[in-house]
A and B are shown apart, each in its own frame.
Chain A
Amino acid sequence: MNQELGPIASILRHVVLLFGALIMLSPFIVMIVTSLKPQSEILSADFTLWPKTWYAVENYRAALTSTPLLLYMLNGVIVTVAIFVLQVLVALPAAYALAKLRFRFRGLMFGAVLLCLLIPMHATAIPVYVLLFKLGLLNTYASLILPFAISVFGIFLMRQFFLTVPDDIIDAARIDGMSEFGIVWRVMLPTAVPAVIAFGIFSVVAHWNDYFWPLIAVGDRNLFTPPLGIAYFKLDEAGTNYGPLMAAATIAITPLVIGFLLAQRRFIEGITFTGMKS
């Protein structure tokens, strides 16, 4: 489908797509514009794209000072990074064993992985909550991180990738004196970098944006992640102090959006790749 369209079809295509793009972008435009306006202008009955009075400094200062928004962002980084690192540490050796070793319960374990792929996060929330409650771990970083340390999806994805790595390389590494763990980290991981990046994008996007589990697991404001922080910001301000609220929303989505704009292709590939396999 790489041929170019004729002039009329081409114009038609742009008209339709630009109209769609306007709708797709409208919340982002409204959010940013509103975050630059004073309350009086926001609540007026005529919407302008360009603020009459610039109120950006005040709104963003309010967003950052009336709630510890930067702390929420830091929590978001800590939680998403910790989850991703643990997922890789747990999933890669398991994926290697499933792809390249011959052991007694391999079929059974892979069956369990396939079964667990079907379980949505929400279905395990109640028992996991009870478990963390009994262990006294609710309201800790651990409660945000531990339940996601296991990614059966990551295991499945990496196993599929490892199957394509030639056995000879693994044998060569054994003869060269590497242990099985050495093979995982020094041979398999470097060859699997593209798959790990795709999985990383998938994992970080999912957990940075996750609202359901943090809402359940933590009540302590010092542990809030950005989605939780924004939701409570809205509650606190009774949802009417729109300037700072939109400023906070802008700040919360910024890291992923910047990452996306910088590495658009990788993000789309990552989400497509993982979406296709999930």
Chain B
Amino acid sequence: MSETDQQSSCAGHASRRGAVEIRGLTKSFGAVSVLKGVDLRIAPGEFVTILGPSGCGKSTLMRIVAGLERQDGGEILIDGGSVDEMRPSARDIAMVFQSYALYPHLTVRENIAVPLRMRELSAVQRLPGARLLSASARRAVREADRAVRDVAALLKIEPLLDRKPGQLSGGQKQRVALGRAMVRKPRVFLMDEPLSNLDAELRVHMRAEIAQLHRSLGVTFIYVTHDQAEAMTMSDRVVVMMNGMPLQIAPPEEIYDDPADLAVARFVGSPRINVLDGRVQGGGIAAAGVVLPLATGLADGTSVQVAIRPNRATLDPAVAAPRVSGRLVHRENLGSDLFLYVATEGSAEPLIVRQDPGIAGRLAVGEAAEVGLPVEHVYVFDAEGRRIALLASDARRRAHG
């Protein structure tokens, strides 16, 4: 998107604010380079998740967008204007923290009202008793009260308004933190691992609620997490970050089905993707004792890595595919799914195959197994882990999808 595109897209959504543009952002702490030049454009109203392992720089990125940390280089624009010199509160953003960060000495009502009181009342008007003297302060307080009640109604936390954070459960605190963010009607919502302190069941529930909240508010959400399920279920687009660099920026399905980097392929998907060492050999790739008919156009002998998702590999003899022979070392029956671990010579880790219990149900640990690798589902990466485009892959992809 160029500048003019940006303007036209803004004009297209006249009422929609919250376009975020990150340009060449760098940051180091001492000798450690945490962000190595991050570029990212987020459209108004988009839900973008930054996904990555801890230490990849995702939280730092968010803190710089919030204005809590200052970048070494690059800039941040919100709705076309630079916010680099603005304080966090002037950026018209809201942030939800992993620890909720509620003020322990204030009630829920007061907690939610803090951003409004800070914005609407002057320092003098905030003094105790000032409301008795100033009509405008009284009006501002009344309006803040109404806004707090509206938000509380939306989040269904009205009965909790007069409690202190210490008396709330984790899920309730989470809602209050959301309420405090919503009440100021920000251009951009920032969420830093907001669900990671909740138990598994509540996490699934809140996932749906946040997605629904995003739909109803129509505001830009930037969401940081290390949990791929959160990223995959809620986002319009996912930014997979590793070592201070976004490796792939794409919708969730594309991240899963078409990983641009081996690290992305390994990080997303559960159980983990199967990876085999391979070598280019006569128009195909030799791996684990078989030659896969995958044309890379690379010179013979080049080292590559091939990968296939467990649900794409198969033990079904009816499927026509190159087969790698090995031995079943472990089986995990989860009821709906059966995971089979097959040790082969080309790979240090056993290959994982997800199979219908009907097909491989009787295969016992220690028995020989032939793992089929349908080539249309095999990804090829170079030695550095970057995806290699396959020749004639167009035809193959079209046939497949």
Q: Which residues of A contact B (CB under 8 A)?
A: 166, 168-169, 171-178, 182, 187, 190-191, 193
Which residues of B from 137 to 154 have beta carbons under 8 Å from A? none
* Those 5 A-B pairs whose CB atoms lie nearest each other, nearest first: A177-B89, A177-B118, A190-B105, A168-B101, A172-B101
**Chain A residue, CB-CB nearest to B120:** A177
Identify the stretch in B19-27, B91-99, B280-288, B300-308 within 8 Å (CB) of chain A at 4 or more residues: B91-99
Contact A176 B114 (CB under 8 A): yes
Q: Which residues of A contact B106 (CB under 8 A)?
A: 190
Q: Which residues of A contact B99 (CB under 8 A)?
A: 166, 168-169
**Chain B residue, CB-CB nearest to A172:** B101
Contact B97 A168 (CB under 8 A): yes
Choice from A166, A178, A182 contacting B101 with Cβ under 8 Å: A166
Choice from B98, B100, B118 contacting A176 with Cβ under 8 Å: B118
For residue B254, give the distance in angstroms from its CB to the closest CB of chain A: 32
Contact A191 B104 (CB under 8 A): yes
- Given A172-B97, A176-B89, A190-B104, 11 other A-B residues pairs in contact with their CB atoms under 8 A: A166-B101, A168-B99, A168-B100, A169-B101, A169-B102, A173-B114, A174-B88, A177-B119, A178-B118, A190-B105, A191-B105
Say yes or no: A171-B68 contact (C-beta < 8 A), given A176-B114, A176-B118, A177-B119. yes
Contact B115 A171 (CB under 8 A): no
Say yes or no: A171-B97 contact (C-beta < 8 A), given A176-B89, A177-B89. yes
**Chain B residue, CB-CB nearest to A181:** B123
Q: Which residues of B contact A177 (CB under 8 A)?
A: 87, 89, 115, 118-119
Would you list 5 pairs from A and B whose C-beta atoms are within 8 A, ordered by A residue? A171-B95, A176-B114, A177-B89, A177-B118, A178-B118
**Chain B residue, CB-CB nearest to A165:** B104
**Chain B residue, CB-CB nearest to A174:** B88
Q: Which residues of A contact B100 (CB under 8 A)?
A: 168
Q: Which residues of A contact B118 (CB under 8 A)?
A: 176-178, 182
Contact A175 B94 (CB under 8 A): yes
Q: Which residues of B contact A187 (CB under 8 A)?
A: 103
**Chain B residue, CB-CB nearest to A187:** B103
Q: Which residues of A contact B102 (CB under 8 A)?
A: 169, 172
Choice from A175, A190, A191 contacting B95 with Cβ under 8 Å: A175
With A and B bound together, what is the CA distance between A193 and B67 in angstroms?
Answer: 29
Q: Which residues of A contact B95 (CB under 8 A)?
A: 171-172, 175
For residue B130, give the distance in angstroms from its CB to the closest CB of chain A: 15
With A and B bound together, what is the CA distance between A169 and B100 in angstroms?
Answer: 8
**Chain B residue, CB-CB nearest to A192:** B105
